[in-house]
Structure 1
C-alpha cells in the first residue's frame, strides 16, 4: 500500500502524508477542486457587481463603497474567531471538515441572492440588499474557506510537496476564475441574455458546484489524528505569539502591502476598460481581459513550480514581482483604442500572478512549523485567520475608496467621463498597484526560511517529541521541548498582557491590569461609537451620495470594534492577575523572556518555571 494513501484507523479515506512522503494525485484533486467554485464566486462579486449595481440597479457609488466597507469589516472580524473555533474543535469529523459541510451551502444561497436583487429594488433599497447579502456571503465564506485553507498545511510537511499541493489548489482557483471571468460576456454575447439573466444562471450553477465539491472533500479526506488530538491555545496569547514570529511578520507584511495591488485592479478594471480604453463592446472585452490575466496565470503555474524547486520558493516569488510591476506601470500610458496593448500587458502581469497564488501559502505553512517548534501546538487556522484578516482591513479602502473617489470627482454612469475622472481611473488602476508591489517586494526579500532551514525545524520538532531540546536554525537559540502542565499554562496566561502592562502591574499595584484593559477597551469602543454616529449623521437620506470619507470612517470603526473585542477577552485574565494568582518574581522572569523573544524574533518566550498554575 502506498504510504501516501495510509488509512486512519476505523476509516477507509486517504489522509495526510508523513513529513517527506508524497501525496497522491487523488488527495491533491479532492483538496484543490472546491477552490474552483469558491474562486469563481469571487469574480462576479468583486469585478461585476459594483458596476452592475451602479449602472443597472442604479445604486449610488458612495453607497456601494460604504456597503463594501461595512461588509468587509465584519468579515475581517469573523476571521480570527473562526480560526480559534476551528483549532479548538474536536468532533468525529475533525477540526476542519464540519465547517466546510455547513458553510458551503449557506454561502451558495447568499451568493445567489447577491447576484439577483429584486427587479423592483433601486437606489437605497438596492443598496441595503447589496449590503446584507454581501455581509452574509463573506460570513459564510469564512466559515468554510478558513478551515479548508487550514487543512492544507496539515496534509504534508514536505517543503516541495507543499508547493505542489497549493499549486493544485490555486490551479483550480484560477480555472474557476477564468470560467467566471469569461462567462458573463460570453453568455450575453452568444446567448443574447441580459445581465440579470446571466447572473441568475451563474448564481445557481456555482452555488450547487460549491456544495457538491466540498461535500466530496469532507467525505473522502480525513484529518491527521495526531494534529486533531493536540491541545490548542487561548486566542489572545496566540495572537501575541504569532506576531512575535519574525518569519510570519515578514511574510504577512509583504502580503498585506501586496493585497492593495490586488484589490485595486479587481475593482477598477471594469472602469478602466469602459472609460479609458473604451472598446466597442466593453462587457465582451472585460471578459477577454480577465480571461487573459487568469489564463496566463494558470498556464504559467507549472513553470513556477519547476522554478521554485530549483531556486527556492522565495527566489521564485521575488522574480514574479517584476512582471506585475512592469506590466502594471505600463498600463498608465494606454488610452482610447489600446485594447490589444492592454491585453498583452494584462497577460504579462498574469504570469507573475500565478506564482504568488501558491508560493505564499506554501511559505506560510513553513512558518506554522516554525511556530510549532516553540509552542508545540498546531495553529493552522489561527495563522490562516491572520493571513486573511489583516489584508482585508487594508483591502477594504483599496476596494471601496477608489469608487468613492470617482463619485466625488463627478463620475456619471454610462457616459463619457470628464478628463479628471479618466486620469483618476488611469492613475489608481496602474500606478497604485505598481507602487505597492515594489514595497511588497522589498519586505518579502527578507524572508529567512529555506528548504534546509525547514528540514532543521522539522528535525527539532521530532527532538521535542522525544522530550529533547532542539536548536532554532534561524537564531541558534536552544529551544526546550514545550511540556504541557502548569509551567506552560502560566507562560500562555501572561501573554494576555503586553510587556508595558506587566511592568505597570509590578510598579503600580494589583489593580493596574484591570484599569489598563478597561481603558483600552473604552477607547476602542468609543472610536466605534463615534464612527457609527458620524456615518448615521452623514447618511441621513438614501437619496444622496455619502461621498468618499464615509468608507474610511467605516473602516476605522470596524478596526476599532475588532480591537475592542480583543481587549474584552482580556478582562477576565486581568482580574485573575490582579488577584495575585501569579507571583511577582515569575512575572519579572517572563518579562525577560519576552524581551529576548522580541529581540530574536521567535514565536514564543521560554516557558516560566516553578509557579502555581493560574488556571
Structure 2
C-alpha cells in the first residue's frame, strides 16, 4: 500500500523553479539573440554568417533554418512524455530523464552560436540546421518531465497555482539573464576580444549558469516523497488522441500557440526595436528586461490572489487583450515626441503587467486540465498533456521567429524599418486571436472536477 504523500515544502518549490530558470536562460538566448546573431543590423558590428538571399520572395535562409529546428518536436515531445508517463524507474518518472537532457541542451546551445565559418557560408546553414534540431530534442528530454512534475506534486488547485507562480518568476528571471547577453558581450569586448568572439563568450558563460540551475531539482527533489509514480500503459498516439479529444484542452492549447507566437515576435523584435526604431545601444535591452521582471514580480502576488478570487480564465483573456493593444505601440516607436529611452521603458512597463499574468495562469490551467483528465479516466497522463502543450509552445516560438525573420526582408535597418514596425500589427492579431480562442474554455467544469474534498 503506498505511503501518504508529503506536501511539497516551500524550499522544494523553489528548487523546482530553479530548473525552470536554467531552461529559460537557454530558450530565451535563442529567442532574443539568434536572429540578431546571424542576421545583424548594420550597426551591430557582427558579420553576416548566412545569406540574406530570399527564396519565393520572402523566405530567407534563417526562416528555413528556424522551421527545421522544431520539426523533430512533433515526434520527440509526445515520445518523451509517453516514456516518462510509462516509466517504472524506482527513483521516479521524471528526474531520470531530466538529468540526461540538461547537459546536451547546454552544449548544443553553445554550438548554435559557434558556426564553423566566420562569414557568409553554406556550411553555416548546414551547421545551424543540425545543431538547432539537436538542441530542441535535448531540451525536450528536460522540459517535458519537468513540467509534468507540477500536476504530479501539486495535489490541490492552489498548490498547482503556487508552483506555476514560482516557475513563472523563474522563467521571467531567465529572460533577464538571457537579455544580458549583449551587455556581457560588450564587457568581453573590452578585454580585446572581437565582437563575434565576445558574443560567443557571453553565450558560453550563460549556458554554464543555465546548466547548473537545470541540475538543481534533479539533485534536491525525491519524487517518491511527493508523488506516487502511477505509470500509464497507454501507447503514445492513443494518449495524444485522448488528450486532443477534450474540447477544453483544444481551445486552451491553440490559444496558447497564438500567445507564444506573439510573445516570441516581441522577444525577437526587442533588440531591433531598441537599436533600429529607437537608435539606442543594444546593451539597453538587458536593463529593459530587468525592469520588466521587477515590475512583473510586483504583480505576482496579485496574480495569485486574483486568480483564486476571480478565476484564471477571465484574467488570462484580459491579459491577452491588454498585450495585443501594447503591441500596436511598436508602430509609433521613434516617431512620438518622447525621448527614445522613455519610449523604450514605456513599452516594457506596459508589457510587464500582462506578461506577469500570462506567465502564471496558462500553466496552472494546463495542470487543472491534466488533473481533471486523471480523475475522469483513472490514468495519470500528465506528461502527455505537457508534451502536447510544449510542442504547441515550441511551434509558436518557431512560428514567431519565422514570421519575424520574414518581416525583416521588408526592412530591418535604420531608415528602412517597415518590417520591424509591421511586427507590432502581427503581434496584435495573434494575441487578440488567443483571447477569442480561450473564451470557449469551460473553466467551471474543469476546476470543479479538480477540487479535493
Common topology (TM > 0.5): yes
TM-score range, shorter chain: 0.7 to 0.9
- How far apart, CA to CA, are the structure 1 residues paired with 2:169 and 2:51? 36
Is the contact made by 2:261 and 2:398 (CA closer than 8 Å) also made in structure 1? no
- In the other structure, the counterpart of 2:319 is 320
- In the other structure, the counterpart of 1:406 is 408
Q: How does 1:32-71 map to 2 (within 5 A)?
A: 32-55=17-40, 56-58=46-48, 59-61=50-52, 62-71=60-69
SS across alignment from 2:126: helix
Is the contact made by 1:297 and 1:353 (CA closer than 8 Å) also made in structure 2? yes
Shift, 1:248, TM fit: 1.2
- In the other structure, the counterpart of 2:395 is 393
Is structure 2 residue 107 aligned with structure 1 residue 116? no
Is the contact made by 2:181 and 2:203 (CA closer than 8 Å) also made in structure 1? no
Is the contact made by 1:76 and 1:393 (CA closer than 8 Å) also made in structure 2? no
- How far apart, CA to CA, are the structure 1 residues paired with 2:155 and 2:448? 9
Residues 31 and 271 (structure 1 numbering): CA distance in 2 closer, same or farther, change over 3 Å? same
- In the other structure, the counterpart of 2:362 is 360
TM-score (norm 2): 0.87
Root mean square deviation, CA, Å: 2.6
- How far apart, CA to CA, are the structure 1 residues paired with 2:195 and 2:312? 42
SS across alignment from 1:370: helix
Residues 289 and 140 (structure 1 numbering): CA distance in 2 closer, same or farther, change over 3 Å? same
- How far apart, CA to CA, are the structure 2 residues paired with 1:402 and 1:204? 26
Is the contact made by 2:66 and 2:398 (CA closer than 8 Å) also made in structure 1? yes
Is the contact made by 2:258 and 2:433 (CA closer than 8 Å) also made in structure 1? yes
- In the other structure, the counterpart of 1:254 is 255
Q: Deviations over 1:61-91 (max 9, x none)?
A: 4211111110122234321111111111211
- In the other structure, the counterpart of 2:167 is 169
- How far apart, CA to CA, are the structure 1 residues paired with 2:283 and 2:216? 34
- In the other structure, the counterpart of 2:219 is 219
- How far apart, CA to CA, are the structure 1 residues paired with 2:23 and 2:334? 34
Q: How does 1:388-467 map to 2 (within 5 A)?
A: 388-407=390-409, 409=410, 411=411, 416-418=414-416, 422-428=417-423, 430-450=424-444, 454-458=447-451
- How far apart, CA to CA, are the structure 1 residues paired with 2:120 and 2:51? 10
Is the contact made by 1:366 and 1:449 (CA closer than 8 Å) also made in structure 2? no
1:146 to 144, 147, 152: 144
SS across alignment from 1:33: helix
Shift, 1:267, TM fit: 2.4
SS across alignment from 2:180: helix
> How many residues in Structure 1 have an aligned counterpart in Structure 2?
433
Q: How does 1:186-197 map to 2 (within 5 A)?
A: 187-188=185-186, 192=190, 194-197=194-197
Residues 274 and 212 (structure 1 numbering): CA distance in 2 closer, same or farther, change over 3 Å? closer
Is the contact made by 1:174 and 1:295 (CA closer than 8 Å) also made in structure 2? no
Is the contact made by 1:227 and 1:378 (CA closer than 8 Å) also made in structure 2? no
Q: How does 1:478-489 map to 2 (within 5 A)?
A: none
- How far apart, CA to CA, are the structure 1 residues paired with 2:196 and 2:301? 37
Q: How does 1:82-97 map to 2 (within 5 A)?
A: 82-97=80-95
SS across alignment from 2:71: helix
Is the contact made by 1:69 and 1:397 (CA closer than 8 Å) also made in structure 2? yes
Q: Deviations over 1:432-454 (max 9, x none)?
A: 1122211211222332234x963
Shift, 1:192, TM fit: 2.3
- In the other structure, the counterpart of 1:609 is none
Shift, 1:369, TM fit: 1.6
Is the contact made by 2:69 and 2:129 (CA closer than 8 Å) also made in structure 1? yes
Residues 166 and 86 (structure 1 numbering): CA distance in 2 closer, same or farther, change over 3 Å? same
Q: Deviations over 1:171-203 (max 9, x none)?
A: 111112212213422551697265434434333
Is the contact made by 1:57 and 1:126 (CA closer than 8 Å) also made in structure 2? no
Q: Deviations over 1:152-180 (max 9, x none)?
A: 11102211221111111121111122122
Residues 208 and 285 (structure 1 numbering): CA distance in 2 closer, same or farther, change over 3 Å? closer
- In the other structure, the counterpart of 2:342 is 340
- How far apart, CA to CA, are the structure 1 residues paired with 2:422 and 2:232? 50
- In the other structure, the counterpart of 2:55 is none
Is structure 2 residue 13 aligned with structure 1 residue 28? yes
Shift, 1:396, TM fit: 2.9
- In the other structure, the counterpart of 1:286 is 285
SS across alignment from 1:228: coil
- How far apart, CA to CA, are the structure 2 residues paired with 1:94 and 1:33? 19
Q: Deviations over 1:218-246 (max 9, x none)?
A: 23212248642333312222222211212
* Unmatched runs of 5 consecutive residues or more in structure 2: 41-45, 53-59
Is the contact made by 1:232 and 1:378 (CA closer than 8 Å) also made in structure 2? no
Residues 190 and 361 (structure 1 numbering): CA distance in 2 closer, same or farther, change over 3 Å? same
Q: How does 1:363-374 map to 2 (within 5 A)?
A: 363-374=365-376
